[in-house]
Structure formats: structure tokens, C-alpha cells
Structure 1
Amino acid sequence: MTNEIDVKLKDALAQDLQKGVPILLKDGFHEADSLKEGSILKLQNPAGKFVGKGYVGMQNKGIGWLLSKNENEKIDTSFFQKKIATAIKNREDYYNSNDTTAFRIFNGEGDGIGGLTIDYFDGFYLISWYSEGIYSFKEMILEALEASVSYKGIYEKKRFDTKGQYVEDDDFVRGECGEFPLIVKENGLNFAIYLNDGAMVGVFLDQRDVRKKIRDAYSKGKTVLNTFSYTGAFSVFAVAGGAKKTTSVDLAKRSLSKTTEQFEVNGIDVEKQDIIVMDVFDYFKYAKRKELAFDVVILDPPSFARSKKYTFSSAKDYTNLLKDAIAITEKNGVIVASTNNATFGMKKFQTFVEKAFKESNRKYTIEEEFSLPSDFRTSSLFKEGNYLKVLFIRIK
């Protein structure tokens, strides 16, 4: 068992932890630089009273996470097993689903352990470690997971190094090696998944509800532009919803083969869809020049992106991105505006929309709002954890 270190905190952080705020922020410590990754901390207020146990795990959000408010609770395999078992019980409906076989079973601080996520892909489990600190508990967590589930195989992603980047490594951990692509279902449609091919597996599970809504309510008979399209997941759902045609645009060269594959595993005729490898910002210029217009435009950019010509920051540039989209959306059309930037909330995001439409001299209504689906559990005391913001915007 890891030795516990007594640490006195500044009063503000101590009070936050007593309320249940899960993150350990550096400025709440008198001396944080000497703390080692993976250390278990017995956290005390300035008067020396116990407020919680946490661990050191350096992420861009903070230097660690609260684990327990019970002074007598040991941070061992049994502790992790209880957390994982509770998380699994909360996902029983997902496990019992016949038409969805890929979902999140453990979502960091929302399930009581910040810096750790576990996803399920039709019998395979994928653990993502977000700091060296949480990775130091690997054997305990693996043992806890194995005691809680039956599985075909376990894979991992190390989403950290000294710069907070993904660590390239062999992703297979134990069990049987999967045969890839692994075909999983989401609301009855198929996705080709690769658990052994770098940081990205082929689909972002947090957009499940949004994809379903696009299929069920916004696609029939429509032309759909899917920008920053990655593997074309939104396009697959749009076609399944009866879209007249989809156009998927992404700068990454492999988006062509990846999107083609997702269409093919769903029996969709690729020749009837457009898949374009191009910088999205160049495509907007091209579309305006050619006087193209779409019924539905999907915007799901990364929080930050850099290409040869452009640098994009969603916190600074989303308004201009929306203006580009407005210019090529049909009258009475819909823009699906999405961001995963955790540094601002839904209200701020809506100000970007308001400004873009005002500067474009257009009117709009917001028809739908989405945040994370129910398997992505969050803590109400850590708003940054509920990072996803999606608006369905109708142009008047």
C-alpha cells in the first residue's frame, strides 16, 4: 500500500474539498513542487483537521484529485473495486441494450476517481490514464476491473507525458487480442473500432445522443455538411436518417479511408456521398465561391487546431466559424454547433452564437441543447467535467 503523506492546505481549497469539490488545484497548496506522482495525501485544513484523501496526478486541470472523505478508508484494490462496481451498476441499462454495444463505464471524477476513464466495446475494455499518478495504480485498478467484469480483452491508452501528450506504446494489456476492426453498435448502427491504433479509436462516444437526434429528426431529405468530420460518424447517422446527400470534410488524409470504412460497415453506397480531404476553412471559402448551400451544417471542431494556414481556438474563433457556416446554410436550415472546450460553459457558448448571427444580420432560434450522455457521469461540483456543449440552431 502507498504511504500516506500529511499535507496542510490553504483554507480555500480545504473548504472546497469539504463541500466535495474533487480537484486539487496547485494554488491551494503551500508547497506543491515536491509532491511526487501517485502519492496519497492526507489532506488537512489550516487547523490540522482531516478533510480528505487524494492522490497526486499532474494534469492541465490541477495536480491531483480527491478520492475519499473517510479518514479510515484505505486506498487499495478494494477501494478501486468498490468504485468500479458502483459505476458498472449505474450502467446496467447500457449493458442490457441490444442496439448499443459501446459506452463509458467509468468517467473520472464523475465516478469518484479523477484522471481515469474506462470504455466498453462489445466485450473489450479500454482504460485511459490521464497522468503518471493514476497510472501508478495500474495493477490495483486492473485487479479491481477483473474482479468486477468478465471480458474478452483489456486495452489501454496513456494520455500523458511531461507535456500532457499521448504516450505511444503497445495498447494491449491482457486477455485476448481483438481482431480489428471491431464492429460495435450504437443505436442500431455500426462503427468500426481500432483499440490498437494510437490515441483515437474511431468514434467519440460522448456524441451518441447528438448523432441519434440528427438521424431521427434532422436528416430526412436534407443535404448535410459534416465539418471536422474525423471518421464520418455524424454522416453515417445522417444517411441512416434519410439524408439526400452528405458531404464530410476533414484535413486528415486518413479521414477518407476511415469514413469510407464507416459507410461500408453500414451498407451505405460510398459513391453517393462526398468525402473531401481539405482544410475546413478552405472548404468554406470554396463553398461560398461555388454558391453551395446545405440544409444542415455540423460543426464539431477540436478545442485547438493548427494547420499550415490557420490556427483555430474555439474560445477565440468559434464566432467566426459560425459566421462561415451561416453563409452556406439554407434558409430555415440548421447548424449543429458543438464544442468540447472545458474552459467555458453553455452560457458563454451561446454568446458566440448570438454574436455570429448579429454580425451576419440573421435571426435564429435554438431548438435543442445537449451536454454529455448519461454514461459520462459528472460531478455537479466540477463544472469543467461536463465539457460537451451542443446547440441545434435554426436559421430564420
Structure 2
Amino acid sequence: MNKLTVGSSAEKKIKEGVRLLGSKDYPDLNKDNQLVYLYSRSNTFLGTAYLSKQNKGIGWLIADQEIKLDRDFFETLFQRSKGKRKNLAKSDTTTAYRLFNQEGDSFGGLSIDRYGDFALFTWYNTFVYSIKEIIIEAFQQIYPEFVGAYEKVRFPQAGHQSAHLYGKEAPAYFDVLENGVSYSVFLNDGLMTGIFLDQRYVRDRLVNGLALGKRLLNLFSYTAAFSVAAAMGGAVSTTSVDLARRSKELSYRHFQANQLDMSSHQLVVMDVFDYLKYAKRHDLSYEIVVIDPPSFARNKKQTFSVLKDYHRLIHQVLDILSPDGMIIASANTSNMPVSQFKKELEKGFGSHKHTYIDLQQLPNDFAVNEKDESSNYLKVFTIKV
């Protein structure tokens, strides 16, 4: 086993409980895609890690002691993660959720989701991908109930984004349940699946009273899952806006899965900032506006960054929000702490009176590392204006 001596900054983070190995703490590293033992400069053993570059750092600490990455190791991890989610497994109203969540379940670089009778593995780096056979064998031992599995690959070296792994093949589109609402999903087409499972708590509130009798505007709507939840929760109308043409077809599938009449539900293919100007010109207003942008987006006219531009969205949304309306503001980025997100929102509100009703973060199946705020990347404020 290779030994890696770390600097004082990295040692401090490890001792504080941070499991991600950040690239700034390892500037001259020439090792990659291997297991290593980490030691301090005073030769104190710190733990076992693996090195593999990905969009989040250069590797992960995976244990405080010396370990072997064999089937027994992963079976133990999966048994533990299965126990954490036993209540969801018994649910008749939710059949799509996360089974294993990276460092929150003690192994960064891997997530596994349930979509009905199928499991979906996501590999985030080449090292984890290189040991996937051991991981899959261990998973099948602990989860024999899944009839088949698929993979998503979030690094370019594999040469593909999506593939069937084992067992039965899923239909091209099939329905899953969340909070009693049906959503049409797909497992073998690019990196998406038709729904972001980490927003379950937010959709649950829309289903269970928050949207009742309201007009809802859903910005950056992707497949309009928030709109469908609101419609099932008694919203009088929904408008879903997304620039991607394919989003309209996928959104329609969700509405269709719940036999919803589309006469009160509009699917708009348009740039969000253009739509906000259009709505203001036409005196449109909404009681609830959901804002769930990608961390970074670029079109022909402009770029958008959650870190720098969120206040512009808030500022323009205020022009079309009904009196005493609500904004559901979501940020899905690990490098923006809650405090920074709130500052960006305040910049948008300016002198407008507003009250923060609550903050929702990741649902409990998306286990997080409590010692590292960036692990709990999702931040959703509900704000009364």
C-alpha cells in the first residue's frame, strides 16, 4: 500500500471529519487512481483513502483505519445504508429514493438510487468505476430484491454516460411513485432520469397543502416535477418554463402519468429571464414562484451562475409575485454555504419586506457528512414576500 504524507491544512480537515480530499491541499500530487494510507508530517496514521480526480477534489478518505476494499467491506456498508432507509423501503407511496449517498454513507464517489424495481449506480471517478464488479456483487448480496440495474458515469474516460448493468431491462419509460404522485422516468438515456430525487421534501409540501388554490410558476422547470406536485396538491394553475425543448415532452409525461387535464397547466419553452419580462409586460402574476436553476448555465445571450446571479432572478420575480406571495428559492451547489446563499437572496430583495418561513435541505435518504457543510449541498428557502 502506498503511503501519502499530507500537509497541515489537509491534516486539520481530516481530523475535523472532512472526507473529501481537496485539490488545493495536495498541489504537487503525482499519484492517481490508487488506495493510499494517509500520514501526517509527524508520521501519525490518519486513515485509508483512495485517489481519483473528479469534479469534487482528488479523492476521498474512506476509513479511519487500515482496510481492504473487498466484497465484505461493501456488504457491510450496504447493510448499514439499507438499515437507515428501512422505513422508505416499506412505503406504499414512495418507490424512488436514494439507497446509498457517497460520503454520507462512508464511501465518496458512489451513489445508488432506487427507481421502482431497478437500481441505478452512479460512478463519479475512474477508481470507483475500476472496482465496480466487487461493488455490484456486494450490492446484489444485500439487495436481491432488485430485478435489474443501470449505471450513470459522471467522468468522460469511460466513453459512455449510461448503460444497462445486470438483470432485466427496464422499459424506455416507466412510472415510479413519490409521496403518492406518479412520475415517468427513464434509466438509459444520458445522465438524467426525469426527476431529481433530492427535492422530495419540497415536492411533498406542494402536494400536501402549500399549493392548494394557488397559481404556481416553475422556473428552470426541467420536467416540471414541482408543477405536477403542485397540481396534485390542488393548484389552480401551473406554468413551467425551461429553455430545453425536450423538457416539454418529458414534462407532459409526468402530467399524463397522473391523468391531469392540461388545460390549466402550461409548458413554455423559453429563456427564464425572457419569460419574466414577458410576464411583467402582460401583467401576469403568481402566488408561488419556484426557482431551481442549474449551478451554471449558458445560452446565446448570457451566462448564469448561482453564486453571482441569483439576486437578478429574485429582483425580476418580485415584479410578478402576487401580494403575500411565496418564493421557493433553491440552490444546488456544494461550494455555496447557506449563509452565502441568504446574502445573495437579500441582495435581490433589497427593501422589499419578506419573511423566511423555513429552510429545507437534503431528505434523509441523501445521507450527509455532518462534519462537512458542503456535503449537504441542497438549500431551499421558502420565503413569504
Question: What band does the TM-score fall into relative to the shorter chain?
Answer: over 0.9
TM-score of the two chains, using structure 1 as the length reference:
0.94
Name stretches of at least 5 consecutive residues in structure 2 with no aligned partner: none
Q: CA deviation at 1:272?
A: 2.7
SS at the partner of 1:177?
coil
> Could you tell me which amino acid in structure 2 is paired with residue 100 of structure 1?
T
Offset from partner CA, 1:329-365 (integer Å, 9 cap, x none): 000011111010211111111112222111xx32111
Asked if the contact 1:81–1:144 (Cα under 8 Å) also holds between the matched residues in 2, the reply is yes
**Whole-Å Cα distance in 2 between the matches of residues 96 and 48 of structure 1?**
48
> Could you tell me which amino acid in structure 2 is paired with residue 26 of structure 1?
S
Aligned to 2:206: 214
> Could you tell me which amino acid in structure 1 is paired with residue 9 of structure 2?
A
**Whole-Å Cα distance in 2 between the matches of residues 134 and 173 of structure 1?**
15
SS at the partner of 2:335?
coil
Q: CA deviation at 1:60?
A: 2.4
In structure 2, which of residues 142, 151, 162 is the aligned counterpart of residue 148 of structure 1?
A: 142
Residues 245, 170 of structure 1: alpha-carbon distance in 2 compared, 3 angstrom cutoff: closer
Aligned to 1:29: 26
Structure 1 position 10 matched with structure 2 position 10: no
Asked if the contact 1:18–1:52 (Cα under 8 Å) also holds between the matched residues in 2, the reply is no
In structure 2, which of residues 278, 291, 299 is the aligned counterpart of residue 299 of structure 1?
A: 291
Offset from partner CA, 1:243-264 (integer Å, 9 cap, x none): 1111111000011111111000
Aligned to 2:75: 81
Asked if the contact 1:57–1:115 (Cα under 8 Å) also holds between the matched residues in 2, the reply is no
SS at the partner of 2:52?
strand
SS at the partner of 2:318?
helix
**Percentage of identical aligned residues:** 39
1:217-228 correspondence runs (5 A): 217-228=209-220
Offset from partner CA, 1:220-273 (integer Å, 9 cap, x none): 111110111111100001111111111111000011111111000001012331
Asked if the contact 2:153–2:162 (Cα under 8 Å) also holds between the matched residues in 1, the reply is no
Q: CA deviation at 1:84?
A: 1.4
Structure 1 position 331 matched with structure 2 position 327: no
Asked if the contact 1:10–1:45 (Cα under 8 Å) also holds between the matched residues in 2, the reply is yes
In structure 1, which of residues 305, 311, 314 is the aligned counterpart of residue 303 of structure 2?
A: 311
Q: CA deviation at 1:167?
A: 5.1
Offset from partner CA, 1:273-300 (integer Å, 9 cap, x none): 1111111111011111111111111100
Equivalent residue pairs, number: 384
Q: CA deviation at 1:170?
A: 4.8
Structure 1 position 42 matched with structure 2 position 37: yes
> Could you tell me which amino acid in structure 2 is paired with residue 370 of structure 1?
Q
Q: CA deviation at 1:214?
A: 1.8
Aligned to 2:153: 158
**Whole-Å Cα distance in 1 between the matches of residues 48 and 60 of structure 2?**
9
> Could you tell me which amino acid in structure 1 is paired with residue 233 of structure 2?
G
> Could you tell me which amino acid in structure 1 is paired with residue 178 of structure 2?
E
Aligned to 1:126: 120
Asked if the contact 1:9–1:30 (Cα under 8 Å) also holds between the matched residues in 2, the reply is no
> Could you tell me which amino acid in structure 2 is paired with residue 269 of structure 1?
D
SS at the partner of 2:235?
coil
Aligned to 1:56: 51
Which is further off, 11-20 or 363-372? 11-20
SS at the partner of 1:379?
coil
**Whole-Å Cα distance in 2 between the matches of residues 297 and 347 of structure 1?**
22
**Whole-Å Cα distance in 2 between the matches of residues 279 and 64 of structure 1?**
37
Q: CA deviation at 1:99?
A: 0.3
> Could you tell me which amino acid in structure 1 is paired with residue 8 of structure 2?
D
Offset from partner CA, 1:51-104 (integer Å, 9 cap, x none): 100001212221000111112x21222111111111111100110111000000
Asked if the contact 2:154–2:161 (Cα under 8 Å) also holds between the matched residues in 1, the reply is no
Aligned to 1:353: 345
> Could you tell me which amino acid in structure 2 is paired with residue 193 of structure 1?
V
**Whole-Å Cα distance in 2 between the matches of residues 54 and 296 of structure 1?**
45
Residues 281, 51 of structure 1: alpha-carbon distance in 2 compared, 3 angstrom cutoff: same
Aligned to 2:166: 174
**Whole-Å Cα distance in 1 between the matches of residues 278 and 11 of structure 2?**
54
**Whole-Å Cα distance in 2 between the matches of residues 282 and 346 of structure 1?**
28
Structural RMSD (CA): 1.4
> Could you tell me which amino acid in structure 2 is paired with residue 112 of structure 1?
S
Q: CA deviation at 1:15?
A: 3.3
Structure 1 position 65 matched with structure 2 position 60: yes
Name stretches of at least 5 consecutive residues in structure 1 with no aligned partner: none
TM-score of the two chains, using structure 2 as the length reference:
0.97
**Whole-Å Cα distance in 2 between the matches of residues 296 and 19 of structure 1?**
40
SS at the partner of 2:98?
strand
Structure 1 position 193 matched with structure 2 position 190: no
**Whole-Å Cα distance in 2 between the matches of residues 353 and 313 of structure 1?**
13
SS at the partner of 1:59?
coil
**Whole-Å Cα distance in 1 between the matches of residues 178 and 270 of structure 2?**
28
Asked if the contact 1:65–1:113 (Cα under 8 Å) also holds between the matched residues in 2, the reply is yes
